[in-house]
Structure 1
Amino acid sequence: MELFIRTEQQQSWLKKLQEKEGKFRNLSAQIDEQGIFPKENIQDLVDLGYTKITLSKEFGGEGLNVYDMVLFQETLASYDSNTALSIGWHLGTVGEIYEKKAWTTDNLDFLAQEILNGAIVNRSVSEAQTGSPTRGGRPGTNAVRQENGVWILNGRKTFTTASPVLTYFLTSAWIEEKQSIGFFLLHKDLPGLSVDETWNVMSMRGTGSHDLVLEDVKVEDSKLIELPDKKSPAKFGGWALHIPATYLGIAQAARDYAVHFANHHTPNSLNGPISQLPNVQQHLGEIELELAQARHLLYSVATAYDDEKRRQYLTNEIAIVKHTVTNSAIKIVDKAMRVVGAKSLQLTNPLQRYYRDVRAGLHNPPMDDMTIKNLALTAIKAAENK
């Protein structure tokens, strides 16, 4: 990781996170086994000021970029995947909002002040009937405007990560009169808004990705924050690179465990540890290769995105990163388990947790089939225009 540290600020933040390493690692197994949300970990990050690092400087934050976020999120995920993915959605959402500045100044000022005071925000867009919003489905959640200018929202959202600690839900809803999707900024304490604790899965068990339920939720007109012009699938932007960074962090943790095991496990059939065996070295070498390739791709694209002059030339690279890094992470954990052998299947062994958690990456947007299809269509279109 030292190869990718560029600034003293990055070094300083990594040191702050490293001070939480022991605590976060020690809680990780319990979070997984009991399926509990790591509220204490998240509060530690809020207290560190971590939740305002992607808030732009002009609004009181640290104004850190995508590269910084990726660096920190990968490190955090190697300690605890649930904590990293949960806080990553907040960091990415905030970074995107204050990069685009598509909201009114009053709304940007309002949310910034809330974030500075410890608020946590995430988008709530997925639904059981529409699936991933990146596929372009129209939300079943609807918003109807009353004559007094108040909106009434009804619907149910799924996969609302970090729901136990969210202060604000940036929620998509279909507005019939506008024939468009709008996003409303909903405070957790609004009457009619509730969280149904439905999250019961084998991977990322502690992310609290429950259902958001809206029953005649009333909200003032000013909280209709975004009104996209087109009914097109959401674009996978650079701030979503926190997703592959998280899975790369899990892979790094699996790699570290496998190397330590190989250096210390000495069966009586050998004169030394299994790290001397050619087949073990083959697995470890392939792990190192996958890690290096995935990491260089991730940080290279993050660097390009942070450069406004180069960003305009990015087409499918963000999706390529997610596809490549996630699938590499799965391979890395699998190879780590081959090194450790049957012990890796013990419920007390962290590798079985890493194995389950990295699988979740396949179901975070964009999906692999969409990435491959878009690559093909881009190539076809480019050839046609020559």
Structure 2
Amino acid sequence: MAVDASVHLPDDLLARIRDRAASVDAENVFPEHDLAELQAAGYLSILVPAELGGAGLGLADAAALQQRLASAAPATALAVNMHLVWTGVAKVLADRGDDSLRFVQEGAVAGEIFAFGISEAGNDLVLFGSDTDAAPRPDGSYAFTGTKIFTSLGPVWSQLGLHGLDASDPDDPRMVYAFVPRSPEVITRDDWDTLGMRGTQSRTTELHGAVASPDRVVRRLAPGPQPDAIVFGIFSVFEILLASVYTGVARRALDLAVEAAKTRTSKKSGRTYSQDPDIRHRIAAMAIAYDALPVLVESLAADVDDLVDHGALWFPRLSALKHRAVTMAKQVVDEAMLVSGGASYFTRNELSRLYRDVLAGMFHPSDPESVHSAVAAAWLGPLEP
């Protein structure tokens, strides 16, 4: 049964979030009021089981809700995404009999805000390597030193889920996944002045020996690709929820284009542009491109929920989903600008903001090169040495 969006993301709440989106972007600030209202509505614990105080939704439900939220305020949706990634990973693990991230579920219900500290400048290994030093301590804790980029929720997070490399034993290096609290050893730079998605405030995070206590160290894995459930959990939830945000952006752009076509009138014909064959063809092409994505997102998300085993095809399918969503969304927003005419070029126009926001999609993993490499390997086999 489809999730009831009016319960978890009511129309009046969505309207207030949409009304604030323009000023959040113009002032380059974090949408604190959006976060406060979403938290009060229980939105940040939608993926937490009901028995722990959450809504007990599945990833497919969360993906549908994130599309709805992104249609109102893409930056708010993208920021919240990073918190939902960790609660989603906790669900993926728990569904497979692993409660090692139960503290994330309990923390989300208690009001903790979880940020995603994986991205590092120039690190195209992403989950499979790290330039952050994870130094082991005698009590089993780890001290992390390094720099993370694109840390959404920068001004407000209370727990940072991150990874680093423990190279203390050169013969047995380990990728360490853990959570550190905000502390004096963590510096959040005020450096988020970007073209779009300004409300995410995805600031650079400096770690100067930030300590994860032993009970917050959740994995020690060999570097490189691993079959561990936490790697699958991070990748699957991250890619699906990213695809959801950009699919939501596309839906809003399509709706705005339809509205513009119905209200703009041609001086030449005296009829609205909705009766112009060229405009009708353009909007039809936008709708055709968009229509496939909600179905694909729901299908792959449901497969994660239902423990479907796609084996080695999981990673190419997930990365291809994100790639499709981002490229589709950019195409739809570009076309919506043309349908809407010159008015959309002004910064006060919502499409102008969507045009800038959608560009952020190309910077999220997986990038186009790695997507095509993974899919080519799935169909053709690995490159010969």
TM over 0.5, shorter chain: yes
Give the match for residue 210 of structure 1.
203
CA apart distance, 1:239: 5.0
Whether contact under 8 Å (2:101, 2:218) holds in the other structure is no
Whether contact under 8 Å (1:127, 1:140) holds in the other structure is yes
What aligned pairs does 1:255-334 form with structure 2 within 5 A after superposition? 255-309=254-308, 312=311, 314-315=313-314, 316-334=316-334
| Alignment counterpart, residue 54 of structure 1, candidates 47, 50, 64 | 47
Asked whether 1:10 is paired with 2:4, we answer yes
SS of equivalent to 1:272: coil
TM-score between the two structures when normalised by the length of structure 2 = 0.89
Give the match for residue 184 of structure 1.
178
SS of equivalent to 1:270: coil
- Cα gap change, 1:330 to 1:161, in 2 (>3 Å): same
CA apart distance, 1:321: 1.2
- Residues 79-103 of structure 1, C-alpha deviation per residue, up to 9 Å, x if partnerless? 0001101111211221112321499
Distance 2:98 2:296 in 1: 35
Distance 1:239 1:301 in 2: 12
The one-letter amino acid of 1:355's match is Y
Total equivalences in the alignment:
373
Whether contact under 8 Å (2:323, 2:368) holds in the other structure is yes
Give the match for residue 158 of structure 1.
149
- Cα gap change, 1:294 to 1:54, in 2 (>3 Å): same
The one-letter amino acid of 1:299's match is E
SS of equivalent to 2:146: strand
CA apart distance, 1:200: 1.7
Q: Which runs of 5+ in 1 are unaligned?
A: 1-5
Whether contact under 8 Å (1:66, 1:239) holds in the other structure is no
- Residues 283-329 of structure 1, C-alpha deviation per residue, up to 9 Å, x if partnerless? 11111111112222222222333222455585322222111111111
Percent identical pairs in the alignment equals 24
- Greater displacement, 167-176 / 147-156: 147-156
Distance 2:307 2:208 in 1: 42
Whether contact under 8 Å (1:183, 1:224) holds in the other structure is yes
CA apart distance, 1:208: 0.9
Give the match for residue 3 of structure 1.
none
Give the match for residue 243 of structure 2.
244
- Residues 131-163 of structure 1, C-alpha deviation per residue, up to 9 Å, x if partnerless? 5615x4x32221222345553322111111112
Distance 1:353 1:76 in 2: 15
RMSD, matched Cα: 2.5
Give the match for residue 168 of structure 1.
159
Distance 1:141 1:90 in 2: 21
CA apart distance, 1:72: 0.2
Distance 1:149 1:269 in 2: 75
- Cα gap change, 1:219 to 1:362, in 2 (>3 Å): closer
Distance 1:150 1:11 in 2: 41
The one-letter amino acid of 2:335's match is K
- Cα gap change, 1:143 to 1:205, in 2 (>3 Å): same
The one-letter amino acid of 1:249's match is G
